[in-house]
Amino acid sequence: MITYSDLGKLKSFSMLKKEKKENVKDLLTADRVKNSSIALGGGLKYNWAAMPVSENILSGLQALSDEAQLIDKYKEILSGKVMNTGEKRLVLHHLTRGNVLGAEVAADGEDKDQFYKDVLASIKDFSEKVRNGEIKGSTGKAFTTVCQIGIGGSDLGPRALYLALKGWAEGSGVKTLEGRFISNVDPDDAASVISDLDPETTLFILVSKSGTTQETLTNRDLVLKTLGSMGIQGYNPSKHMVAVTSKTSPLAKDESMLASFFIDDYIGGRYSSTSAVGGVVLSLAYGYDTFRKLLDGAHEEDCLSLGKDIRKNGALMDALIGFYLRNIAGYPATAILPYSQALSRFPAHLQQLDMESNGKHVNRNGEKIDYPTGPVIFGEPGTNGQHSFYQLLHQGTDIVPLQFIGFRECQYGKDIETAGSMSQTKLNANLAAQIAAFARGKDDENPNKEFDGNRPSSLIYGDKLTPEALGALLAHYENKVMFQGFIWNLNSFDQEGVQLGKVLAKKVLAGCEGDDLLKAYADLLI
C-alpha cells in the first residue's frame, strides 16, 4: 500500500538531520567531478559534484526516496490514478509525449492515450497544410507569422521553448514561421506586438482551456478590434485565428475559429507545453517533426525517471538534493543559470512550474504543515547575470544554491575566433570558472576581495541544445518538481493561490461592492 506521510513522520528525515553538515569545498575534487554525472534524456547529463552531499548523506537520501515511495507514486500518476487531490483529477502531462508504462489510461469514457495521439495527428495535419501554403489567409497570402495569445502556462512554457529552438532551426536550415506572443492584459503588450505584424500573413492562436480566461479574451477582443479597423479589403479575422481549448469550453463551439485543438482538465497549465498548448505554435513555427523530436526527448527522460537508484535517476537525485538544501541546509532560494541565450525565458517558465506547484502550506489532505516547501526560483542567462546579481551570490550574506545549464556547441553556427578562442569557448570557460569560484572561494587579506566559497551548484550539460535535449530538459524539471511535491506530501497540481486576486479584481470591476479597502486602492488607479 502506498502511503502519503508528512515529512516529519519519515524516519529517514530524522536520520538525515543528524548527519554531519558538509562544506562543498571540503568534498569537491577532480575525481568527484568526473564521477558524479547521471545520464538524462536527449543526450544531456546532470552533475551534482559541487553539492554538499557526502556518501552518508546520499545514502540517507536514497533511504528517504525509498521510504516515501517516490517512484511508486510516480507510477500512480503514469497509470492514471487521481493524483490532483484538490480538484480530484488525473495528472496526465506525461501521456502527451508517450505512454511510459504502456498501461491503458481511461477517463471520461475515452482512452486518453488515443485522445492525445489524435490531437497530435490533427496538429500535424493542420501545421503541414499551413506551412506548405495549402491553408492561407483570407486575402490569399501565405502565413509567415504565428502569434499566440495566452497567459501563465499558455504563454511561459511555449514562449520559452519557441525561443530555445529559434537558433537551432536557423542553424539547421529548418523552414521557420516567425513566432510572437501576447500575454499581459496591459494593452501596451498587445499594441506593441500588433504594430509589427502584417495582419494578412499572421495566424493567431488563442489558448484558454476554460475558454473564459479574462486576460486572454480581453487581448483577443483588442486584437480583433484593431485588425478589423484597418479596412483591409477581403480580410476576414475568422480565417486568421485558431483555438486551443477544452471540448467543453465556449471556444470549442465558436464557429468564428479557423480550427480548434483540444486539451483537457488533466493537463495543468504549467505542465502543458507538450500538449496542444505548445504543440500548435511550435509545429507551425518549426514543423511538426521538430515538435515530435521534443516530445521524444521528454519521453526518454520520463522513462529514465522510473529508476529507484538515485545515482542513476537524474531527476530524482536533483529533487532529493534540492530537498536537502531546502529542509536541512535551510536555503530558501535557487538560481537557474543557463549559459545559453536561447534559454533566456526558461527560468521564467521554471518559476511558474516550481513556485506554482510547490508553493503550498497544506498537505494533500488540506492540513497545515510545519516545514518549508518550495524555494524561490529566479535566474537569467550567463554571462549577463555575472554582471548583474552574481555579486550577491558570491559575497552576499545568504547562500543561494545554483543550477547551471551549458552546451559545448552553439546553435546558429556563426561563432568566430578572437584573442585565441571561439566565443562559445569563452562562454563555457566562464561557466566552468563560476562553478569552481562559487565552491572554493578565495582567501585575501583585503576583506572586500575575500570569497567565502561553499556556494553549492549543479550542472546540466550536453553537446547542443536540440529539440530532443530541450524536451528532456523540460521533463527533467517537471519530474524534479513532482518528486519534491511527493516528499513534502503536497498536491503539486493545483494552484489555489492564484484565485483570490482574480476574484477581488472582478469585484473591483463591479464597483467594489461596498469593500472600502478595495475602493480606496481602486480610486488611486482607476
Catalytic residue chosen out of the listed positions 129, 502, 506, 513: 502
Q: Distance (Å, rounded) from C-alpha 342 to C-alpha 288? A: 20
Q: Distance between CA 223 and CA 243 in Å, rounded?
A: 14
C-alpha cell of residue 79: 497509470
Classified as helix, coil or strand, 246 is strand
**Rounded CA separation 188/226 (Å):** 13
Q: What is d(CA 10, CA 489) in angstroms, rounded to the nearest whole number? A: 11
Question: In 10 A of CB 224, how many CB atoms?
Answer: 17
Residue with cell 517516490: 70
Please state, as a whole number, how many other Cβ atoms lie within 10 Å of the Cβ of residue 247: 12
Helix, strand, coil tally for the chain in percent (to 5): 50, 15, 35
d(CA 110, CA 119): 13
Closest CA to 179 of 195, 160, 152, 153: 160
Which of 200, 300, 356, 380 is labelled catalytic?
356
Strands 45-47 and 457-462 come out as: antiparallel
Task: Show the cell assigned to 411.
Answer: 546553435
Residue 312 designated active-site: no
Q: From residue 214, how far is each of 156, 223, 381, 526 by CA, in Å?
A: 17, 14, 32, 18
Omega before 29 within 30 of 0, i.e. cis: no
- Maximum separation of any 2 CA atoms in the chain, in Å: 75
Of 311, 434, 392, 329, nearest to 52 by C-alpha is 329
> Rounded CA gap, 291 and 124, in Å?
9
- List all residues 6 or more positions away from 420 whose beta carbon is below 8 Å from its beta carbon: none
Q: How far apart are CA 79 and CA 2, in angstroms?
A: 14
Q: What is the rounded distance in angstroms from the CA atom of residue 46 to the CA atom of residue 225? A: 49
Catalytic residue status for 502: yes
* Annotated catalytic residue within 18, 20, 88, 387: 387
Distance CA 401, CA 491 (A): 24
> Does the active-site annotation cover 387?
yes
CB 342 within 8 A of CB 411: yes
Q: Do 72 and 320 form a contact (C-beta atoms < 8 A)? A: no
Q: Please enumerate in sequence order all residues whose Cβ is within 8 A of that of 340, keeping only pairs 6 or more positions apart, or say none.
A: 164, 381, 405, 406, 407, 465
Supply the residues annotated as catalytic.
356, 387, 502
